[in-house]
């Protein structure tokens, strides 16, 4: 385990577990500490039942970032953004992931497991993790959310 790398919690429903598992392995192979919040198979689960505990890991400070994957990413993002402490960016490409960090200080990503491929998801996650929040004028705007 590399203590310098941010820890992440990853959660998915049945529409996202395959992509979630790819990302868990990818992160662990690079030395990140990962909390795998499930689900681990194709059996149907309700995405809020996965989203909320994954958000709680971020809120509690057990991890710095969270990644949620459902079929579209949408349901997961709706559930996550009910938490005032969470800013969950539902993105399908890396530019939005970069700006979500720079401008919105996003602390979670929501991805569509039925919408994007593994390479795009890894590109998104790489960009998200490599980008720092800019602060400044964005602090005021985030406070108004
Ligand atoms: C599950 O069929 C699907 O509704 C879910 O994965 C997600 O896409 C909801 O937003």
Percentage helix, strand, coil for the chain under 3-state DSSP, each rounded to 5: 45, 15, 40
In this model, does residue 18 exceed pLDDT 50? yes
Atom of ligand 1 nearest to the CA of 16: 6
Distance of CA 135 from the midpoint of ligand 1 (Å): 33
Q: Look up the pTM and report it.
A: 0.97
Q: Is 88 a catalytic residue?
A: no
| Domains of the chain with CATH codes | 8-143 (3.40.1400.10)
Q: Mean pLDDT across the chain, nearest whole number? A: 97
In this model, does residue 1 exceed pLDDT 50? no
Q: Is 103 a catalytic residue?
A: yes
- The sign of the CA dihedral 84, 136, 131, 114 is positive
């Amino acid at each position: 385990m590399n203590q310098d790398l941010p820890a992440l919690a990853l959660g998915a429903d049945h529409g996202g577990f395959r992509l979630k598992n790819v990302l868990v392995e990818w992160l662990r192979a690079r030395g990140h500490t990962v909390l795998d919040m499930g689900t681990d198979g194709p059996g149907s689960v309700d995405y809020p039942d996965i989203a909320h505990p994954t958000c709680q890991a971020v809120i509690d400070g057990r991890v710095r970032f969270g990644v949620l994957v459902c079929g579209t990413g949408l349901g997961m993002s709706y559930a996550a953004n009910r938490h005032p402490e969470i800013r969950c960016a539902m993105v399908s490409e890396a530019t939005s992931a970069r700006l979500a960090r720079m401008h919105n200080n996003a602390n979670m990503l929501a991805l569509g497991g039925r919408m994007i491929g593994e390479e795009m998801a890894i590109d998104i996650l790489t960009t998200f993790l490599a980008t720092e929040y800019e602060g400044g004028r964005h602090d005021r705007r985030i406070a108004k959310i």
